[in-house]
């Protein structure tokens, strides 16, 4: 695996690959890699000739400075895991490399409603930061396919919109969420949880599964409340528990039984904020296959 730190070196290398008719799959990450990240690398490897992974803890997407400060960094192990997964290139840029004119650049991306709900509401500025970094990375890498995780579902919709706004031809591939044995979605932030907290954080999956099992056409208030109680029982403090339209995240109060919907939760376990979602109704007979 090549480790490249300068964007011009990466762009030059990838230009040669493109001329040789190679396709490029790109997996942007913030490092502290786990099986979830590696599943994206694997999928990219199955579908593209060259796999590029980036590790960059993007300062502009952290609305909470403490969260940025405490974000886990495990570079040595990340390199080991990427080599094992046959990643071709690790892009490891500095902040200056990504933001040559500084992190306070003023470009604003028109994300509309997506930026005012759920993560957009609770993490002001977060998606503008995500767009800044993905815009810059996509310009450097110019991937054929961009691999992202359903765990960050709202981010998937934001990136889809971004690619339209910047007229990028890259195709998005949304990959399923990998979970711990108790259902907890794998996340770099889980490293900040104790064993006991990790166990209790499985309550998020339990609440999503409860919604999935009980949702039916009609008002959803009661089922949302019951799911919220499951979180409280596990000492999880919810920012939100909602059911929303899968296509645009419009939150619904009444389900018509037809529209494709998704349940989404954000909750704190101690001071660690976790998010997860489940597309409804998920057929558990097929789950994990
Ligand atoms: P991050 O390093 O958290 O920015 O994540 C990098 C990419 O990995 C994003 O596209 C995430 O959605 C994806 N990802 C994070 N956790 C998981 C998971 N448990 N399963 C699958 N993909 C994930």
pLDDT value of residue 54:
98
For the four alpha carbons of 75, 76, 79 and 85, in that order, the dihedral sign comes to negative
pLDDT value of residue 104: 85
Q: What's residue 287's pLDDT?
A: 45
**pTM of this structure:** 0.96
CB neighbours (10 Å) of residue 229?
Answer: 12
Ligand 1 mean position, distance from CA 75 (Å): 16
Cβ of residue 25 lying under 6 Å from some atom of ligand 1: no
> Can you tell me the distance from the alpha carbon of 98 to that of 86, in angstroms, rounded to the nearest whole number?
25
Q: Strand runs (DSSP E) across 113-170, as ranges?
A: 145-149
41 Cβ closer than 6 Å to some ligand 1 atom: no
For helices 153-165 and 126-141, give the axis angle rounded to 10 degrees.
60
Residue to mutate (ligand 1; options 149, 163, 180; most atoms within 8 A of CB) = 149
Q: Is 20 left (phi over 0), alpha (psi -120 to 50) or beta?
A: alpha
Q: What pLDDT is stored for residue 74 in this prediction?
A: 97
Mutate to test the pocket of ligand 1, among 27, 28, 29, 172 (most ligand atoms within 8 A of CB): 29
Q: Crossing angle for the helix pair 221-233 and 203-214, nearest 10 degrees?
A: 160
Closest CA to 227 of 218, 216, 214: 214
**Chain-centre distance for alpha carbon 153:** 7
Q: What residue has token string 């230009």?
A: 15
Local mean pLDDT, 10-residue blocks, the chain (289 residues)? 98 98 98 98 98 98 94 97 97 97 89 97 97 98 98 98 98 98 98 98 98 96 98 98 98 95 98 97 52
Q: How many angstroms separate the CA atoms of 2 and 46, rounded? A: 19
Does the beta carbon of 29 sit less than 6 angstroms from any atom of ligand 1?
yes
149 lines ligand 1 (CB under 6 A): yes
């Amino acid at each position: 695996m090549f480790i490249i730190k300068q964007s011009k070196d990466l762009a030059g290398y990838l230009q040669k690959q493109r001329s040789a008719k190679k396709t490029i799959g790109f997996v942007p990450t913030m490092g502290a890699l786990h099986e979830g990240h590696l599943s994206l690398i694997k999928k990219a490897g199955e579908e593209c000739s060259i796999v590029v992974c980036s590790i960059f803890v993007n300062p502009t997407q952290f609305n909470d400075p403490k969260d940025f400060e405490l974000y886990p960094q495990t570079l040595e192990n990340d390199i080991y895991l990427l080599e094992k997964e046959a990643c071709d290139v690790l892009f490891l840029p500095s902040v200056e490399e990504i933001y040559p004119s500084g992190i306070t650049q003023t470009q604003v991306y028109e994300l509309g409603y997506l930026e005012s709900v759920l993560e957009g509401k609770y993490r002001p500025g977060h998606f503008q930061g995500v767009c800044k970094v993905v815009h810059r990375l996509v310009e450097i890498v110019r991937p054929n396919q961009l691999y992202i995780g359903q765990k960050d579902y709202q981010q998937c919709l934001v990136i889809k919109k971004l690619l339209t706004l910047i007229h990028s031809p890259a195709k998005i591939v949304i990959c399923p969420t990998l979970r711990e044995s108790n259902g907890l979605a794998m996340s770099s932030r889980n490293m900040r949880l104790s064993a006991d907290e990790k166990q209790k954080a499985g309550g998020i999956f339990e609440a999503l599964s409860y919604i999935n099992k009980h949702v039916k056409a009609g008002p959803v208030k009661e089922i949302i409340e019951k799911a919220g109680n499951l979180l409280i029982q596990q000492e999880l403090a919810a920012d939100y528990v909602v059911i929303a339209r899968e296509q645009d995240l419009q939150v619904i109060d009444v389900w018509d039984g037809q529209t494709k919907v998704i349940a989404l939760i954000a909750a704190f376990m101690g001071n660690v904020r976790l998010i997860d979602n489940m597309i409804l109704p998920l057929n558990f007979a097929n789950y994990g296959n």
